[in-house]
Structure 1
């Protein structure tokens, strides 16, 4: 994607963030997810402050990595879509 203009890459990034936020707001939490969250919070409460801080940092790092993974998958999907649509557009003289 490095050969795409910066403004285009930024537009894709912003769209990804919009979709990710919408997905998080609309996604129903499963009982398993709620249970896991509750268990993790209970576990953190029972730890000393240093461990709580480390666990929070770990959660933040995992969240960031998951976001990066999702963004990479999104960008690959955009590239795949462009690769698929360009031949069609060229063959029908749309460009």
Structure 2
């Protein structure tokens, strides 16, 4: 069974879901202005923290690329995470 690793958060996704951490970095324009959160694009890369029992193609700890409009964003202890379906994963970054 899957379980969260390397984080203080214990979250176990169900079925074909993947629990992904990512860091929302401060983005700056070439002129030095910071882009507000509302204008930023959603992340497309993250690290798998936990997987559901029906996930077959990825493992905990892998860095993945996913569609920017997929998944559900959640915040736990001021850290942002995504819950994705396995089919929303585009590939593994090696």
State whether TM-score is above 0.5.
Answer: no
Q: Computing the radius of gyration over CA atoms, which structure comes out larger, 1 or 2?
A: 1
Instruction: Identify the structure with bigger relative contact order (alpha carbons < 8 Å, sequence gap 6+).
Output: 2
Which protein has the bigger strand share? 2
TM-score by length of 1: 0.23
The structure richer in helix per residue is 1
